[in-house]
Amino acid sequence: MKNADDDPEALLSRDIEVENACYAASKGADVVLGSHLCRGSRTASRGSGDYEWLAERLFGELEVDRFLLEYDSDAVGGFEPLRFLPKGKTVVLGLVTSKEAALEDRDDLIRKIEQAAKFCSIEQLALSPQCGFGGSADNHFMTVEEQWTKLENMVETARRVWG
């Protein structure tokens, strides 16, 4: 953005304003609103940079109940930005990658969830894949069976943490 002479703060303000208008139009008593910060699931490459620069504004100003953040790569930095998460909101930790078939170790996932819980209540956290398993028809990173195995592993991990 900076290379294109764009102002990241101004663009963030505009994005929050526009997204909040959309969320206001769809808000209902039994509607849970969430925002996913995608870092590029249509290809094997992904965005870089951490959440630090936008976390306080995003968590404080975006009128959603859940934030779905991709945390399956060290490129996104640590969990420190979660310190800005207001009470009553949830961060869904996308620790399970949809980019490769290798199964995540449950103990590693639990350790990462515990690290995240140092910055907000563990009751404000959830676990998910970092993004959908099929961002487009031509990026089959794994078989359907491998996807189910990852989901089952994720569910068992969540049971161990929150069960």
Residue 99: per-residue pLDDT: 84
DSSP assignments along 42-87, one per residue: SSS----S-SHHHHHHHHHHS--SEEEEE-SSGGG--SGGGGGPPT
Instruction: At 9, list the tokens.
Output: 């703060």
Ordered by where they begin, the domains of the chain are: 32-162 (3.20.20.210)
Residue-level pLDDT at 22: 94
pLDDT of residue 143: 85
How far CA 104 is from CA of 8, 97, 143, 149, in Å, comes to 34, 8, 16, 10
**The pTM is what?**
0.88
Q: Chunk the chain into consecutive blocks of 10 residues (it has 163) and report each block's average pLDDT, rounded to whole numbers.
A: 77 94 90 87 59 94 96 90 97 93 96 98 96 65 88 97 96
Cα separation, 87 vs 161, in Å, equals 20
pLDDT reported for residue 27: 85
